[in-house]
Structure formats: C-alpha cells, structure tokens
Structure 1
Amino acid sequence: MRDQYVVVIGGTGFIGGHLLARLAADGISTRVAARHYERAKHLTTLPYLDLELADIHDDATLRRLLAGSMAVINLVGVLHGGHGKPYGPGFRRLHVDLPRRIAEACRDLGVARYLHMSALGASPQGASMYQRSKADGELAARSQPQVASTIFRPSVVFGPGDHFLTMFARLQRHLPVLPLACPGARFQPVYVEDVAAAFSLALREPHTRGATIELGGPRVYTLAELAHLAGRYSGHERRVLGLPDWAARLQARVFELLPGDPVISRDNLASMKTDNVVDPRTQALTAEALGIKLTSLEAAAPHYLATPRGLDDYREHAGR
C-alpha cells in the first residue's frame, strides 16, 4: 500500500501517535495534517510519513490534503466544547461540521474510504453535549453514500501518553486523598495499540465498509477501581473518596472556572450517567470480531505508570 497513502486528521495526539506508528509498521504511507510543527515533530522519525502544516478548517486546504488519497482517518475530538443547545459551538465545529466537510470532500475527490473516530455512548438522546455531538458526527460522516465510512466507538483509551490513568496517577502523587466524582461509573478501557490495530485492519478488510466497530477491553471497571489501580501501579495509591452528586457538580463547576481545560466538567458528569461499555445489543463489530487479541489493563498499565518520569517531573515543577 506504499504507492497510495492515507490522510490522518488529528494525528498529533495520543491515539494518533500510536496509530501512525502502527500504519508505518504495516507499510501504509500516511499524510498527517498539523497546524503547528512543534506538536508534530515527534512524528517525523516515522517511515512512510509526510507531515503537512495545514488548517483543516479551511475547505481549500482540506481538499488539497485529501486529493489523491485512498482513505482518510479522522481522530479529532474534544471533551470540552462550550455550552449550547443541543451542544456548544466547539462540539459543533469539531464533532459535526468537520466530519461533514470531510465526507463532502471525499465525495467530490473520489476518496473511497472514511474512518471516523466516535465514542461509546454516542446518542442523539445522550445526557451530555459530548454524546449528542458525537452522534450527529456519525451521521455527518455517513452523509455521502458514495463514501464507505467506518465508525469506531472506543471506551476510554489507555496506554503510554494517555490523559486518563496518567492523570489519576499524577493526582495521587500530590494529594493525600483523591476526591472522585461518579465513583460507580462503569468503563471498559481499551489499550491504545488495540485501537490502532483495529483502524489498520479496517483499511484492509472489505467487510468493515459501512460498519460500526465498538472497542472495549477485556474487563469492565468502575471509575473508583480505575483510580485505585492507577495509584497502585504508580506507587502512590491513596484513599479514594467518592463524592455525592451535589459535591461532584460543585467540584466540576469550580474546575470550569479555572484557566485551561477543566479536569472534569458538568458535561463530563452527564456523560458518566451512561455506562461506557460495549453493548452487544447494537450488533456492532468488535475488536474480537476483527481477530484482535485484547490487552488487559493489568498487563500494560504497570509498565508505563511506574516508569520514572524524569524530565516530565522537572518540567512540571519548573512550570513548563
């Protein structure tokens, strides 16, 4: 497949780095769109990768990127997108408008495949703006019948460089007690390399065209269990204090008022009202159906959570 290439949008983040490494290992050439070189320079050592500095929100630029490609993968997503009905402007722009524009560009340019990252829990009737915008994004990705779209719905994704288990480990390095909202919320964490394998396989397997693929790991955990494991594997296990709903909402409101992306928002709390697990009733494909042997959290997480952070710790204390 080296004579053709796949365009990856949103490839500079956590999942993108692992996916691009997997595609390179499988001999698949890629073109990666990045707005800032500094955020993407770590990818330039990968073989068969062409880095393009581009603004994907400009239609002419987007179409130039996609022209001549065999497929496009869209990994773009945000947890915080402002407020509004049925969702805030950030959610609309990135979760709905962008996939619609990608699908239209694929139609006009003859790009046959579109692999779209959604999320478990996506629903037009979802309790959160995130869930509702993800559902509308799936419809947008499938809006062009000439384009064979594949929708991926992962549970929370873990692995080296994640922002989930690593966050719980970091908090427990500094806090004597971990106050936790929605401690009973259920998740089915999936290893990032298994997610990357699913995308790579879908590019080559014709039966994934038009399919929805739900990705969950081999075991379901409560949020409290995941927080405990993150602390244990990092060597800083603390007591986890489950917060009642009123205190969780107050905590989220305070975090929303602080600069930068909040650790947790009220919309995140709404998302956690729905179990973030694979639902066999949807009759979606799964990682197992693709022949992927799932990696357990217990097998992978201790290795990267227990690794001394070295330079990262220095930067954290230096405020960089």
Structure 2
Amino acid sequence: MQDLVTVFGGSGFIGSQVVRALAKQGNRVRVAVRQPHLAHTMRLLGDVGQIEVVQANIRNEASVRRALEGAQACVNLVGVLYETGRQKFQSIHAMGAKNVATAAAAAGVSRLVQVSALGADAESPSKYARTKAMGEEAVRAAFPTATFIRPSIVFGPGDGFFNKFGEMAVISPVLPLIGGGKTRFQPVYVGDVAKAITKAATDPACAGQTYELGGPAVFSFREVLEYIMAETGRQRLLLPLPSAVAGLIGKACEIIALTPVAPPLTSDQVELLKADNVVSGDKPGLAELGIPATTVEAIAPAYLYRFRKGGQYADETERFAAV
C-alpha cells in the first residue's frame, strides 16, 4: 500500500466517495469523524485493514493532531450548510480549517487538500461564503502549498439539492423560484469531485493550486426544477418568490435548526442564491486534472425515479393504468 491519507469528514456525502477513490488507488486511509460509531461501514470501502476510523473534531486541536499522526497527506472536507449548537460557520469553516492546516504543517504532512466552495468570497453577504474564504486564507497562511477545491453544487445519490426538491415535489403543489429562479448553477458529479480531490491529495504537481469544479452544463434555478419535475413526472406550479420574502421564511425556518431536523431553508442560503454558482474560467478545473465531466442526465435519473408515483415501478404502474 501507498501513503496514509487522513480524511476529515470522510463519512459524508462527498467524503465517502473520496475514501473509496483513495482506497482504490492503494492508499491507506484514516477517516476522522466526530462520531466514529456512526461511520463503521467506512471500513467496507477498502481491503481488510486498509481503512481505519478515528474520532476527531476539527474544533479540538488535540484530536486533530492525533488524527494526523503518521499521515503523509490530509483532506479536510468538514463543512456545514446551516448553523446549530456549536457547529457554527466561523468555528468550522474558518477556525477548524486553520486547526487542520496548522497541525498538518507541524506534523510534517506533505500534501493538504482543503475543500472549499465555489463562491467563497470575503465580501459576500452570505456568512457561509465569507467563512469559506476566511478558511482558505487561514490555510494558505499555515500551509502555503495546500491545494484548494471549489466545487459548484454537487449532485449524486444522496445529494442535498436534487433530492431536496424531488421530495418537495412529492408533497407540495408549489415549488418556490427563489429570487425569480434566475440563479445559475453548474452541477458537478460527486464521483468527479472525489477523483479531483484524490488527484490533488496524491499528485505533488497539484500543490498550491486552486481548482474550480463545475459540470459540463449550466442550469438556471428554474431549469433545475423543471428537470426534476420532468424526471419525477410531477406537474407543480413554479411560484416566483422574492428574495426578501424568502429571507423572512428562512429566518423562521432557522428555528428548526435547534432540533435534529435540518431546516428546509435559511436566510443565509437565500443570500447565497443571489449570486450565480458557476466557474469563473480563471482557474483550472476538471479538464486540467484529466477528468471528463459527467452530465446530470447520465446520473440523476437513477436516483430521482424514487420520487415518481410508483417509484421504481412507475413505468409498470403507468402501463397497467392505461389498460
């Protein structure tokens, strides 16, 4: 086997794909998560003994140092989409990223990959985007050769975007077009993102680079919802919702963040939707990493089908209904 790579947040939607890709290349992988008892299945993604799961919280410097012992490379995937309890944007995206970079430099780690976000901007009205930019700045200061990965909306089985609106289309007769539905996205497949992160973590040529990852097509928010309705066979009213009104709804929904249930919308997410989420063209991306971009149409139907009437048996249900 090759190097030992510590992956912080390795049990999440993107992280599990990264762990699988790293293991497939023959690397030893240490998955560092807050609740290791919930990540025991991660060991099944590699050969016997190839993947270990350890406890680490990037807000706790001592646990970060332990997770990095003996590692040659490190990936930080930890992030939150909304704030709850001690999991705040500032403590995770900024201070947490700094803790990982500082500990990695002190431990003599050769390569560090910081997963940020497309739209990370210190001047953004969104706290999510601002703290992502703060994290990048802190990592650069502590680990100058770090590689940064900035993906657009990431799609794939288990994603929190296409699935969210697919579920909404099942229960609601109306889908909201926040800000009029003009915001543009460049959805990128989770498998492609995992390949990019793996490449960055194992190829010294990627050191110091910032990669913007987007898929082969750009969709407006309206086009995304129309695509989801077409794939799920659900006809729903697309209702334009001014950003100001959506922001008030988001603030009301944030009360849900005090419970274990994820809020359907937050005021900070409304701020994010005011800006396009597409690659700038000024930074290298999937093409420069030698990774062909996968289309939404090639993947999304395989998991959006469950939101059709009849689920996986939708075609049969329609056929018998026509008899």
TM-score (norm. length: structure 1): 0.89
| 3-state SS in 1 of match to 2:288 | helix
Contact 1:156 1:187 in 2 (8 A): yes
Distance 1:58 1:70 in 2: 21
Identity, in percent, stands at 39
Separation in structure 1 between the aligned mates of residue 20 and residue 162 of structure 2, nearest angstrom: 22
Residues 235, 210 of structure 1: alpha-carbon distance in 2 compared, 3 angstrom cutoff: same
SS of aligned partner of 1:285: coil
Residue in 1 that maps onto 2:110:
112
2:203 is the counterpart of 1:212: no
Unaligned residue ranges in structure 2 (runs of 5+):
312-323
CA contact (8 A) 1:100 1:140 kept: yes
Quick one: structure 1 residues 244 and 56, their matched pair in 2 at CA, closer, same or farther if it must change by over 3 Å? closer
User: How many angstroms does 1:154 deviate by?
Assistant: 0.4
- Equivalent of 1:76, from 60, 75, 78? 78
Determine the C-alpha separation between the residues in 2 that align with 1:58 and 1:180: 40
Per-residue CA deviation, residues 208-235 of structure 1 (Å, 9 max, x unaligned), is 1000000000111111211221232233
Partner Cα separation in structure 2 for residue 56 and residue 243 of structure 1 = 37
| Equivalent position of 1:66 in the other structure | 68
1:127, 1:273 within 8 Å by CA — same for their partners in 2?
Answer: no
CA RMSD of aligned residues (A): 2.2
Partners of 2:140 and 2:244 in 1: CA distance: 39
Note if contact 2:162-2:228 (Cα within 8 Å) is conserved in structure 1.
Answer: yes
Contact 1:71 1:112 in 2 (8 A): yes
Q: How does 1:177-256 map to 2 (within 5 A)?
A: 177-182=174-179, 183-256=181-254
Deviations 1:60-83 (A, max 9, x none): 22111101101110001112237x
CA distance in 1: counterparts of 2:87 and 2:124, whole angstroms: 17
TM-score, normalization: structure 2? 0.88
- Provide the rounded CA distance (Å) in 1 between the counterparts of 2:134 and 2:18: 24
In the alignment of these two chains, the number of paired residues is 303
Alignment map for 1:95-110 (pairs within 5 Å):
95-110=93-108
Distance 1:76 1:237, change over 3 A: farther
Partner Cα separation in structure 1 for residue 199 and residue 108 of structure 2: 22
- Please point out which of 154, 157, 166 is paired with 1:157: 154
1:1-320 alignment, distance < 5 Å: 2-47=1-46, 48-81=50-83, 90-145=88-143, 148-182=145-179, 183-258=181-256, 259=259, 260-280=261-281, 283-307=282-306
Instruction: Return the alpha-carbon distance in structure 1 between the equivalents of residues 186 and 62 of structure 2.
Output: 39
Unaligned runs of 5+ residues in structure 1 are: 83-87, 313-320
Deviation track 1:6-27 (CA, whole Å, cap 9, x = no partner) reads 0000111111111111112222
- Aligned equivalents of 1:152, 1:224: Cα separation in 2: 27
C-alpha distance in 1 between matches for 2:245 and 2:91: 31
Structure-1 separation of matches of 2:43 and 2:234:
35
Decide which moves more: 102-111 or 157-166.
102-111
Q: CA–CA distance in 2 between the matches of 1:240 and 1:41?
A: 41
C-alpha displacement of 1:89: 7.5
Q: CA deviation at 1:285?
A: 1.3
One-letter amino acid matched to 2:278: V
Provide the secondary structure at the position in 2 that maps to 1:81. coil
Name the stretch that deviates more: 157-166 or 97-106. 97-106
